[in-house]
Structure formats: C-alpha cells, structure tokens
Amino acid sequence: MSKVFDLIEKEQQRQNNTIELIASENFVSDNVRRAVGSCLTNKYAEGYPTTRLSGHKGRYYGGCTVVDELEEYCCDLWRQVFKTDYHVNVQPHSGSSANLAAYMAVLTPGDTILSMSLNDGGHLTHGSPVNISGKLFHIESYSLDASGRIDYEDIANKVRASKPQMVLAGASAYSRIIDFRKIRAILDEAMAQDETYKPYFMVDMAHIAGLIAAGEHPTPFGLADIVTTTTHKTLRGTRGGMIFCRKELAGKIDSAIFPCCQGGPLEHVIAGKAVTAEEALTPEYQEYIRQVVRNSKAMCAQFIEMGYDVVTGGTDNHLFVIDLSKTHPHLTGKMVQNDLDRHDITANKNCVPFEKRSPVETSGVRIGTAAMTTKGYKEADFIAVAKRIDEIIRGIQA
Ligand code: DSN
C-alpha cells in the first residue's frame, strides 16, 4: 500500500471515531464519492456547453459532448433545488473562486463593498484585508447590535453614507435568519432616492444553502442579483462552488469564471455537484435539514441552561457560537478547540462580536450540527455531547 492510501485510511479512522462539530463540514454519500472519483477527472473542457445561453458557448477541446450534457443537467438540477430561473454557473472550484468571480463580474477594483466583517461572523472572502477581496476593493462593514444580531439600521445608514457598489449578505458564523427582504428594501429605497445609484445585492449563502433548499431559511432568490454558495456544507455534497445570477448578468458571470478567474472546469466535481443536487431534491434530504435545525436548537439550549453565553442568545440554523469572554475569561477558543481535539471532539475556535483576542486565539467556539446529523444523531445525542463538552471545558487548566 502506498503512503497516500495509508494516510487516507488513517483519516477515515479519524472521521469514524470523532464527533464532528465543524459547522462547514459534512459527510458525503457514496454516490458523490463515486462521481468525484470517476473517469471525468481525465477530461479537459475549458469553455461552456455548446447549448449555453449566456453568449459564452463552446469548448476549447474536442470530445466534450458528454460533459456538455452533464454540465447542463447539473445546472438544471440546481435551478430545481432552489426553485429559481436564475442563470447558474457550476464551474467555480470553491466558494472563494465563486466570490472573486462575482466581484470581478460586476465591480471595478476600488469600488466599495459593504459586508459583514470576518470578526463579526462574515467570511474571509467578504473583504478581509488579507484576502484579495480586501486588497482589490474598498470595504465597509456593517455592525452588529449589542446582542450580536445584524444591525439593519446600520446597513441603511452606511448605504446612504457611502453608496457602496455592492452590498453583500452572508456569513460563516451567524446563527440567526438573515433578512434578505429587508436589505433589498434598503437598496430599493436608496435607488429610488438617487436614480443614478445602481448597487448590486449579492448573497453568499454557503452555510445556509441546505436550509434554503429545504425551506428552513428564507430564500435570497428573486431579491439578490447574485447568489454564491459552496456545495459541501449543509448541502452535504462534494467540495466546490456555484454562482447564480439574474439572467441579464449571465454573460458577465460566465466570463468572470472562465477565462478571468479559472481555466478548465473540474468535470468530475461537476458530476459530484449534480449527484448532490439529485440528493437535495429528495424528501429524505428535506427531513435531514429539519433534523439539523432541531438538533442545533436543542444543543444550543443545553449550553444556555448550563450557563454558557451563546452569541445572540440562541440559533435559528445549523450553528451557534459560544462566547467564553464573560463566563470563562481565562480560556481562549484555541485552548478549548485543542482540548476537545484531545477528547475526539472536533470544533473550531471562532472570533466573537467585539472580539478582543487575535483570530489565532479567539474568545469563542463555533459549533455546528450538520455533520453528526448525517451520522444519525438526534436531539438527545447532541444534548449528551453538550454535557461532555462542558465537562471537558471545566477540566481545562488555564
Ligand atoms: N471557512 C469556512 C467555514 O468554516 O465556515 C467557510 O469557507
């Protein structure tokens, strides 16, 4: 056996034997793995299917008849999953590529993006100074209120004050419903007051995409101009990204992915995305998502009952963030993450709103229920895990 397969076996054992609470991870089906490990990995297919309506059609290589059909099938499935007629591009290799392409499609370097900062629960690619998004664009951040919820009044004020070319909603550590309708209304009002103002509304739904697909979170479709996502979090699919957009932006989005930000698409991964969509359309998947949310609420309530401070005081989705800064000021998120690791529980340190520590230390821990719900955990199991985590935390020597 080669060293690589030894290591894969070790990782398989790790995944079998740990309690996985990282909110962005999940366990894919055997069919997703079959598709991603298939012969499609051998095929080069720069370009788009010949039937593409965006104006970008045709591949730069021969032998693409099958992958053309596959890619269009994949796009059709995802429109069904999200009950939308938006244009969809399934070629982004990741959420980061999808976001960069979305910015490149409609913005010019130097334009202003109004988004949630990484520290407050946003994402690295939403304008962090260390990411290309923060290097190419001017970033303004909207605030959270004292309870840690998005301050929509602050979005309205900042839209009026700095007239961003894009308002970006979406988060990687935010446990509450995001009111896309309210943000749309803020932008509509600003546009009504200034006819020359034409901002784009983009939603990065990566974390909550599965909830949106199952009707457990309000949809951004029909409200946002561009919607990006990954396929591997609550959607429980292969790793990768996608971009949806209003039809009039189709040409810009397609050329921003290829040739601007990427070369050849990963057709084996597109096959994995298609299988993911087939699965997301089943009643079993919808019930899975409902259980993810029930589990998250039950576990979160248990932490609160044990005296923990949960950001926003609860959760509406698949995750929540425990803020240790008041209840356990001597502990950092890093210390808790490391100790949980030692006890075969995997979670990640996370900044909390108004964080005083560095992103390497942090004062919080993010917990998600999507992965262990796939393994069959119910509310009682998550409550038991919460109690175990409390024991471990109480045992940490600061
Ligand atoms: N960094 C990922 C997460 O854990 O939320 C998202 O890309």
Digit-coded pLDDT (tens) for 345-393: 999 999 999 899 999 999 999 999 999 999 999 999 999 999 999 999 9
Q: How much is the pLDDT for 206?
A: 98
121 lines ligand 1 (CB under 6 A): no
Which atom belonging to ligand 1 lies closest to the Cα atom of 125? 7
Q: Determine if the peptide bond prior to 129 is cis (ω within 30°).
A: no
| Domains of the chain from N-terminus onward | 30-280 (3.40.640.10), 291-394 (3.90.1150.10)
Residue 257's pLDDT is 98
**Is pLDDT of 214 > 90?**
yes
Q: pLDDT tens, 290-316? A: 999 999 999 999 999 999 999 999 999
Collapsed DSSP state (helix, strand, coil) of residue 70: helix
- Ligand 1: which residue has its CA nearest to atom 5? 172
Q: What percent of the chain is predicted at pLDDT more than 90?
A: 95
What the block records as the tokens of 85 is 């007629």
Q: Could you say which of 79, 182, 239, 357 is catalytic?
A: 239
What pLDDT does 51 receive? 87
41 is catalytic: no
* Positive or negative torsion for Cα 308, 312, 318, 319: negative
Q: Is the CB of 170 under 6 A from ligand 1?
A: no
**Interatomic CA distance for residues 200 and 26, integer angstroms:** 31
**What is the value of pTM for the model shown?**
0.97
Residue 71 has pLDDT above 80, yes or no: yes
How far, in Å, CA of 283 to CA of 285, rounded? 5
Block residue for tokens 């999200």: 82
Distances (CA, A) of 113 to 288, 356, 373, 375: 35, 25, 35, 39
The residue-averaged pLDDT of 222-239 equals: 98
Ligand 1 nearest atom to the CA of residue 96, by list position: 7
| Annotation marks residue 46 as catalytic | yes
Q: Which ranges in 216-332 belong to alpha helices (H)? A: 250-255, 267-280, 283-305
How many CB atoms neighbour CB 31 within 10 A?
A: 14
User: Which residue minimizes the CA distance to atom 4 of ligand 1?
Assistant: 24
- Gap from CA of 170 to ligand 1 centroid (Å): 12
**pLDDT, tens only, 103-135:** 999 999 999 999 999 889 999 999 999 999 999
Task: Catalytic residue, from 204, 279, 355, 381: name it.
Answer: 204
Q: For residues 359 and 349, what is the distance between their CA atoms, to the nearest angstrom?
A: 8
**Mean pLDDT value across residues 210-215:** 98
pLDDT band of residue 54 (cuts 50, 70, 90) is confident
Dump pLDDT digits (tens) for 221-230. Answer: 999 999 999 9
- The answer to whether the CB of 22 falls within 8 A of the CB of 346 is yes
Residue 55's pLDDT is 87
Ligand 1 atom closest to residue 230's alpha carbon, by position in its atom list: 7
Q: For position 398, what pLDDT does the model report?
A: 61
Kindly report, residue by residue over 150-209, the tens digit of the pLDDT. Answer: 999 999 999 999 999 999 999 999 999 999 999 999 999 999 999 999 999 999 999 999
The DSSP-derived string for 126-191 is GT-TTSHHHHHSEEEEE-B-TTS-B-HHHHHHHHHHH--SEEEE--SS--S---HHHHHHHHHHHH
Active site residue 85: no
Is 290 an annotated catalytic residue? no
Terminal Cα distance for the chain, rounded? 43
Q: Measured from the CB, is residue 95 less than 6 Å from ligand 1?
A: yes
Ligand 1 contact via 373 beta carbon (within 6 Å) = no
CA of 24 to the centre of ligand 1 (A): 6
| Residues 153, 142: Cα–Cα separation, whole Å | 9
Mutate to test the pocket of ligand 1, among 93, 119, 123, 367 (most ligand atoms within 8 A of CB): 123
Question: Ligand 1 centroid vs 230 CA: distance in angstroms?
Answer: 10
Determine the average pLDDT of the residues in 38-65: 94
**Mutate which of 22, 96, 97, 233 for ligand 1 pocket (most atoms within 8 A of beta carbon):** 233
Amino acid at 131: N
**Which atom of ligand 1 lies at the shortest distance from residue 173's CA?**
5
The model's pLDDT over 316-345, given as tens digits with 9 standing for 90+, comes to 999 999 999 999 999 999 999 999 999 999
Nearest CA to ligand 1 atom 2: 24
Cβ–ligand 1 distance for 229 under 6 Å, the answer: no
For the question of residue 44 being annotated catalytic, the response is: yes
Q: What is the pLDDT of residue 53?
A: 84
Which residue CA neighbors atom 3 of ligand 1 most closely? Answer: 24
Q: Does residue 24's CB lie within 6 angstroms of at least one atom of ligand 1? A: yes
What are the two backbone dihedrals, phi and then psi, of residue 258, each rounded to the nearest 5 degrees? -125, 120
Does the pLDDT of residue 241 top 90, yes or no? yes
pLDDT tier, 274 (very low <50, low <70, confident <90, very high otherwise) = very high
Question: Ligand 1, closest atom to CA 207?
Answer: 5
Whether 233 is catalytic is: yes
Cβ of 172 closer than 6 Å to ligand 1, yes or no, is yes
Mean pLDDT of the region 204-219: 98
Distance CA 47, CA 396 (A): 54
Q: Which of 26, 133, 172 to mutate to test the pocket of ligand 1 (most atoms within 8 A of CB)?
A: 172
